[in-house]
Amino acid sequence: MRNNKFVVGILVLGLAVGVVGMVGFAWIAPPPLSGSAGSTAIWTVQKFITVDVTSFDFGTIPAGLDEVTENDAVTLSVSSNVEWDLSFTKSGSGSNHLLVSLLNSEGEDDAEITVGYSLNDLCSMDAGDYSVTVTYTVTIQ
């Protein structure tokens, strides 16, 4: 009988050690279940530039005037995301009598540019209607 008590005692002791061991494992927190990954957003913005302008009409010039000036004849609207240079060309009847005055001929990003027009040497011109086209060009630097 002693042997049986001894075996039962060992079994009870083994069971107690097993239960205590399992309780000990339950107290250890599992590692966090998380992860991370990175994503990169990539894009390219193209350079752009546009220019917009309205027409200007001096109207009928009174007889005997040799020069007429309009300092705020037109406003150029430049839309851009880069540095730029502004130039112009003139064409049409009387283009040699029209002077164009730019307040600035270069810039960066968006800009409003006031342009002045002057007519000169009018007394030497023949009577009639004249039309000059001023073409503005903005160029990316």
**What would the pLDDT profile of 30-67 be if each residue is shown by its tens digit?**
777 888 899 999 988 888 888 899 899 999 999 999 99
d(CA 18, CA 41): 54
d(CA 93, CA 132): 6
Please tell me the total count of domains within the chain. 1
Q: Residue 54: inside a domain, yes or no?
A: yes
Q: Residue 2: inside a domain, yes or no?
A: no
pTM for the model stands at 0.69
Expressed as residue numbers, the domain containing 100 is 49-140
Q: Residue 31: inside a domain, yes or no?
A: no
Q: Residue 102: inside a domain, yes or no?
A: yes
pLDDT at 14: 61
d(CA 139, CA 78): 11
Q: How many CB atoms lie within 10 A of CB 37?
A: 4
Q: Residue 1: inside a domain, yes or no?
A: no
Q: Residue 17: inside a domain, yes or no?
A: no
Instruction: For 15, list phi and psi in degrees, rounded to 5.
Output: -65, -40
Q: Residue 108: inside a domain, yes or no?
A: yes
Q: Identify the three-state secondary structure at position 75.
A: strand
Q: Which of 11-15, 31-35, 101-105, 111-115 has the lowest mean pLDDT?
A: 11-15
Amino acid at 122: L
Q: Residue 132: inside a domain, yes or no?
A: yes
∠ CA(123), CA(127), CA(133), 5° rounding? 90
